[in-house]
Amino acid sequence: DPALPVTSVSLPQTLSYARWLDSRLRSTAATPVALLEALDAGAKVTLPSEAEWEKAARGTDGRIFPWGMEPNGAFANVASAALLPVGSRGCESCSYGIADMAGNAWELTRSPLIDYPFVMPSAEALLRADSLWVMRGGSFQDTINNVRSAVRGAVDPSVRNPTIGFRLVISRL
Q: What's the DSSP call for residue 107?
A: E
Q: What DSSP assignment string belongs to 65-95?
A: BTTBSS--GGGSB-S-SS---TTTT--TTSG
Region 91-96 average pLDDT: 81
Q: For the chain, which residues make up each domain, given as ranges?
A: 11-171
Q: Write down the CATH superfamily of domain 11-171.
A: paralog of FGE (formylglycine-generating enzyme) (3.90.1580.10)
Region 99-110 average pLDDT: 94
User: Where do runs of H (alpha helix) occur along the chain?
Assistant: 11-27, 33-40, 50-58, 123-126
Residue 106 pairs with which residues in a beta bridge?
Answer: 164
Please report, to the nearest 10 degrees, the dihedral formed by the alpha carbons of residues 32, 56, 108, 147 taken in order.
Answer: -140
Q: Is the pLDDT of residue 4 over 60?
A: yes
Q: Give pLDDT tens digits for 25-35.
A: 999 999 999 99
Q: Give pLDDT tens digits for 35-93.
A: 999 999 999 999 999 999 999 999 999 899 999 999 988 889 999 999 999 988 878 78
* Strand ranges across the sheet with 152-155: 152-155, 133-136, 106-112, 164-165
Least confident window among 1-10, 83-92, 148-157: 83-92
